């Protein structure tokens, strides 16, 4: 599925996008609730991780959660290389 195709099916396209970019200290629970019902949540999260999206809620995950995922991924790649 192309990038544009999955984006057009995203539930976030039907609500105020500001919901997905809360101010510092603001809550992201409403955005995450929309993501939880979205059929393209996995594609969205993959896109955000591949493109190093640093702001907002993507695929139901916050900026902090995606940073942890990136770090964990880099750590596992490093471990894989050292085991070889």
Residue 21 lies in a domain: no
Q: How many distinct structural domains can be found in the chain?
A: 1
Residue 64 lies in a domain: yes
Residue 50 lies in a domain: yes
pLDDT digits (tens, 9 = 90+) for 10-21: 999 999 999 999
* Whether the Cβ atoms of residue 36 and residue 12 lie closer than 8 Å to each other: no
Report pTM: 0.81
Residue 84 lies in a domain: no
CA–CA gap between residue 4 and residue 72 (Å, rounded)? 28
Residue 32 lies in a domain: yes
CA–CA gap between residue 54 and residue 56 (Å, rounded)? 7
Give every CB contact of residue 34 below 8 A, 6+ residues apart in sequence: 11, 12, 15, 19, 20
DSSP assigned state of 11: G
**Range of 69's domain?**
3-16+26-76
pLDDT digits (tens, 9 = 90+) for 58-77: 999 999 999 999 999 866 65
C-alpha separations of 51 from 4, 28, 44, 45, 80 in Å: 15, 21, 11, 10, 23
Residue 83 lies in a domain: no
Residue 81 lies in a domain: no
């Amino acid at each position: 599925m192309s990038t544009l195709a999955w984006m057009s099916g995203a539930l976030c396209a039907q609500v105020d996008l500001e919901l997905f970019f809360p101010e510092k200290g603001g809550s992201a629970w409403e955005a995450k609730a929309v993501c939880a019902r979205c059929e393209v949540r996995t594609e969205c999260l993959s896109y955000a991780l591949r493109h190093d999206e640093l702001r907002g809620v993507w695929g139901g995950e916050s900026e902090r959660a995606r940073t942890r995922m990136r770090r964990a991924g880099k750590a596992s790649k490093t471990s894989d290389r050292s085991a070889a």
